[in-house]
A and B are shown apart, each in its own frame.
Chain A
Amino acid sequence: MRSITYVEALNEALHQILEDDPDAFLIGQGVNSPWYVGASCAGLLERFGPARIIDTPVSENAVTGVAVGAALAGKRPILEHPRMDFMYYAFDPIANQAANWHYMMGSQLSVPLTIWGIINRGGEQGAQHSQATHAMLAHLPGLKVVMPSTPYDVKGLLRAAVHDGNPVLLVDDRWLYRFTGDVPEDRYTVPIGRGAVRREGSDVTVVATSYMVHVALEAAKGLREDGIEAEVIDPLTLKPMDAPLILSSVRKTRRLVVADGGWRSFGAAAEVMALVGESDLIGRLKAPMARVTLPDAPAPASRALEKHYFKTSDDIKQAARAQMGE
């Protein structure tokens, strides 16, 4: 099988979805701009034309509402937000309209909308060009949230999101775009709600999301040198989360570290810990659970601060060693 980059897999998924489904279209800021979306949208405008590749003014609220209204009318829009920071402007159409509509209107209409939110951070961009807001969006009933971490999964999950029939937020991280992996040329979906074991291990479970999966795998390599075998679990879908997969791993290792690229309090890591905390495993853990997240602080600009703010494999290794009583 051929190996391609994450951003190439994303681009291939978009081409195939738009080719297969005449109701699918792409709308968002900078879908035709090299600054906003990297190479993810390469070739789309030339192939599908401006009626289906719609570059928009910076009107996050209205454009998101437009995508919701088109979805209600039977289209399958893919709505791109080049930075999650700007999505706060779009909270009303996401939270009040898209997520509620099916339930609130007596299950008559659904919103088959894919919201593609991009985390774009680092490089001294500061607090408003950095945010990973997946956890606060995953809080909303009616919205599904997926965070593909590999080229294979981004291709399959984007397709699954477009076919799902509900509002689905797909969060990716620009830091993932360079990773390579095996990706079939054919069409396929990765089921929403199912996670993956990225590395098997018997000593400590590391549940990691999105970019942190790669950081956790790097940490696992280092831990192996110390004789610690980490099992790396990638939920892939934040909501609904694959609880059986996480619980079965923790049942085996009895130790849990959660690594997430969001903030600490009320975050995705807290939710994973709560899942274990509510299970029969709570009294049977060999060490208190730990999380590796951003601190509860805005992202700093200076690289001298950034290197402490964003977590690395050393942070995960340290947390895992502490689990082992080291």
Chain B
Amino acid sequence: MTGGQARPSGARAARRQRLLRMYETMVTIRTVEDTLADDIVKGQIGCPVHLYSGEEAIATGVCANLDSSDWAYSSHRSHGHFLAKGGDVYRLMAEVYCREDGCSKGRGGSMHLSSPEIGFPGSSAIVSGSIALAVGSALAFSMDRGRRVAVTFFGDGALGEGVLYESLNFAALFRLPVLFVCENNLYSTHMPIAKCSADVDLSKKARAMGVPARRIDGNDVELVYRTAKAMVERARDGRGPSFLECLTYRHRGHVGPSYDIDKGLRCQEELDCWLRKDPIETLESRMLEEEIASREHLEEIRARVRSEVLAAQARGRDCEWPRWSDDEGFKDVYRRPEG
């Protein structure tokens, strides 16, 4: 599939364009996470931040199949999904620094990013908290008889929550256009997967609920893209939900910039092994090997992204704080009546 030589030139050009676009998205996510990590170390970020470094291929590969009318929900580890769905870097930065210009006006913080205009209704910090919501949005889409789909991203920890199974059953029962994307990064906060789940092949659990499932290498963005593509098309055609388990690894620890090695939760050998399977480097090597892009071109993308992210971060770090007054504080609790 990845050879390319025998393809017609149109397909090859489309693939080249797609890979370059996905590369830029992945580099953007990584750069955002790394620059945030630097500021956490410096004590410039107060809000808890769950970094997505190492998992970029999943959000990127899945969201490359979506447009802004499709909805993606996320979890506490939401930066990658927000950005892959087309979210603005500056508004993300401002939100992580809890400022008024943030995508959620500083009311949400890192775990509650939202940008409905790009099809990102929000992210919930309760494990499994947005899964049923995505199923409900898919129900709304199916009532409208359109071709929109809903996606929910969650970690392997979510498999411990009953609502996931209820949601899988409900989605299968009503054949809803929803894609369940499980980012299996092998740890639920501090606990290795084998201590959380008696059977570590999580895709089996979805199949048991009547939802077709695949278990794939989540660090291969092209594989994620292709697998999700079939699932998204299936949903758009009214053939029901799918479950995609992506095996991956978060480079950083559960929360913050630490690698959780100092805490004795993970070991250096394991991290090194996964760093060798870095999703961005994997894609880079493939593009160079297949002469899809030159080293200079990729470096140019990285440099441009870096300067854009740094500029957005500097602005986000320095923009206005939200202001409190009793009126300001309470008026947003409820949506005000129209007119």
Please determine whether chains A and B interact with each other in the same assembly: yes
Residues of B within 8 A of A104 (CB): 104, 107-108, 112, 122
Q: Does B163 contact A (CB under 8 A)?
A: yes
Q: Which segment, of A4-12, A60-68, A171-179, A298-306, faces chain B?
A: A60-68
Q: Does A265 contact B (CB under 8 A)?
A: no
The total of chain B residues at the interface (CB under 8 A) is 45
Q: Does A279 contact B (CB under 8 A)?
A: no
Q: Which of B103, B138, B166, B170 has the most CB atoms of chain A within a 10 A radius of its CB?
A: B166
Near A by CB (< 8 A), chain B positions 285-316 give none
Residues of A within 8 A of B334 (CB): 102, 110, 142, 144, 166
Near A by CB (< 8 A), chain B positions 264-287 give none
Q: Does A30 contact B (CB under 8 A)?
A: no
Decide yes or no: A69 and B140 within 8 Å by CB, A59-B166, A142-B334, A144-B334 being known contacts. yes
Decide yes or no: A108 and B114 within 8 Å by CB, A73-B71, A142-B334, A165-B337 being known contacts. yes
Q: Does B116 contact A (CB under 8 A)?
A: yes
Is B163's CB under 8 angstroms from A103's CB?
Answer: no
Is B166's CB under 8 angstroms from A97's CB?
Answer: no
Residues of A within 8 A of B124 (CB): 96-97
Is B137's CB under 8 angstroms from A57's CB?
Answer: no
Q: Does A92 contact B (CB under 8 A)?
A: yes
Is A25's CB under 8 angstroms from B163's CB?
Answer: no
Q: Does B135 contact A (CB under 8 A)?
A: yes
Decide yes or no: A73 and B141 within 8 Å by CB, A65-B131, A102-B333, A106-B108 being known contacts. yes
Q: Does B327 contact A (CB under 8 A)?
A: no
Q: Indicate which residue in A59, A70, A97, A165 contacts B338 across the interface (CB closer than 8 Å).
A: A165
Q: Does A1 contact B (CB under 8 A)?
A: no
Residues of B within 8 A of A59 (CB): 166, 169-170
Q: Does A51 contact B (CB under 8 A)?
A: yes
Is A103's CB under 8 angstroms from B169's CB?
Answer: no
Q: Mark A133-148, 1 if CB is under 8 A from B, else 0.
A: 0000000011010000
Residues of B within 8 A of A126 (CB): none
Is B170's CB under 8 angstroms from A57's CB?
Answer: yes
A198 CB to nearest chain B CB (Å): 27
The closest CB in chain B to the CB of A51 belongs to B143
Q: Mark B208-220, 1 if CB is under 8 A from A, else 0.
A: 0000000000000
Near B by CB (< 8 A), chain A positions 43-80 give 51-52, 56-57, 59, 61-75
Near B by CB (< 8 A), chain A positions 194-251 give none
Q: Does B162 contact A (CB under 8 A)?
A: yes
Counting contact residues on chain A (CB < 8 A from B), the size range is 35 or more
Q: Indicate which residue in B102, B167, B169 contacts A65 across the interface (CB closer than 8 Å).
A: B167
Q: Indicate which residue in A57, A93, A141 contacts B132 across the interface (CB closer than 8 Å).
A: A93
Q: Does B61 contact A (CB under 8 A)?
A: no
Task: Give A227 to B24 CA distance when docked, in angstroms.
Answer: 83
Task: Give A144 to B336 CA distance when docked, in angstroms.
Answer: 13
The closest CB in chain A to the CB of B145 belongs to A51
Is B335's CB under 8 angstroms from A107's CB?
Answer: yes
Residues of A within 8 A of B136 (CB): 65-73
Tell me the interface secondary structure of chain B in the complex: mixed
Q: Does B150 contact A (CB under 8 A)?
A: yes
Task: Give A228 to B50 CA distance when docked, in angstroms.
Answer: 64
Is B335's CB under 8 angstroms from A64's CB?
Answer: no
Q: Does B262 contact A (CB under 8 A)?
A: no
Q: Which of A96, A103, A166 has the most CB atoms of chain B within a 10 A radius of its CB?
A: A103
Is A61's CB under 8 angstroms from B162's CB?
Answer: yes
Q: Which of A73, A101, A165 has the most CB atoms of chain B within a 10 A radius of its CB?
A: A73
Decide yes or no: A62 and B333 within 8 Å by CB, A57-B169, A106-B102 being known contacts. no
Residues of B within 8 A of A52 (CB): 143
Q: Does A297 contact B (CB under 8 A)?
A: no
Near A by CB (< 8 A), chain B positions 166-186 give 166-167, 169-170, 173
Task: Give A142 to B330 CA distance when docked, in angstroms.
Answer: 10
Is A69's CB under 8 angstroms from B150's CB?
Answer: yes
A220 CB to nearest chain B CB (Å): 34
Q: Mark A98-140, 1 if CB is under 8 A from B, else 0.
A: 0001111111111000000000000000000000000000000
Residues of B within 8 A of A144 (CB): 334
Residues of B within 8 A of A51 (CB): 143
Q: Does B63 contact A (CB under 8 A)?
A: no
Is A61's CB under 8 angstroms from B166's CB?
Answer: yes
Q: Does B121 contact A (CB under 8 A)?
A: yes
Decide yes or no: A165 and B140 within 8 Å by CB, A68-B132, A93-B132, A105-B107 being known contacts. no
Is A106's CB under 8 angstroms from B137's CB?
Answer: no
Near A by CB (< 8 A), chain B positions 93-110 give 102-108
Is B333's CB under 8 angstroms from A142's CB?
Answer: yes
Is A75's CB under 8 angstroms from B140's CB?
Answer: yes
Is A75's CB under 8 angstroms from B143's CB?
Answer: yes
Decide yes or no: A74 and B333 within 8 Å by CB, A62-B167, A65-B163, A105-B122 being known contacts. no
Residues of A within 8 A of B173 (CB): 57
Is A96's CB under 8 angstroms from B126's CB?
Answer: yes
Is B133's CB under 8 angstroms from A97's CB?
Answer: yes
- Report, nearest first, the 6 A-B pairs whose CB atoms are least far apart: A65-B132, A69-B136, A62-B166, A69-B133, A106-B105, A105-B114
Q: Would you list 6 pairs from A and B whose C-beta atoms are within 8 A, ordered by A residue?
A: A62-B135, A62-B167, A63-B166, A65-B131, A65-B132, A73-B140
Q: A65-B163, A97-B126, A107-B105 are in contact. List 16 more A-B contacts (CB 8 A).
A: A56-B170, A61-B163, A62-B166, A66-B133, A66-B170, A69-B73, A69-B136, A69-B138, A70-B140, A72-B133, A72-B137, A102-B335, A104-B122, A106-B105, A110-B334, A144-B334
| Interface residues, chain B, with chain A CB atoms under 8 Å away | 71, 73, 102-108, 112, 114-116, 121-122, 124, 126, 129-141, 143, 150, 162-163, 166-167, 169-170, 173, 332-335, 337-338
